[in-house]
Amino acid sequence: MSVEVTRYSTTWQPPADDAEEIVTEALRDLARWLYRQLQVEYDHLTSDKVIEEEIIVNEYTFTETGRRLG
C-alpha cells in the first residue's frame, strides 16, 4: 500500500519525512479497528441467544429435520 502525503501550508513547508509512514500506519490501525468491530457484531448477531430470540419474536416454526414451516 502506498500513500502520498501532500501538505497544504501557507509557509510552503514540506511534510515531515515520515509523514507517509505515519498516515499508512494510522490507516492500518483504522482498518484493524473496523474489522474488530465487524467481527464483534457478527459474533453477536450469529450467537445462539440472538438467533433463538429472532426465532421466537418472528414466530418461526421448524420440522424435526430443521426445515422451516410457513
Cα–Cα distance between 11 and 39 in angstroms, integer?
44
Cα–Cα distance between 20 and 5 in angstroms, integer?
6
Identify residue 30 by its one-letter amino acid code. L
**pLDDT confidence band for 25 (50 / 70 / 90):** very high
> What is the pTM assigned to this prediction?
0.66
Q: Is 20 exposed, middle or buried (0-12, 13-18, 19+ CB in 10 A)?
A: middle
Identify residue 34 by its one-letter amino acid code. L
pLDDT at 31 over 90: yes
Answer whether 4's CB lies under 8 Å from 20's CB: yes
Average pLDDT over the chain reads 91
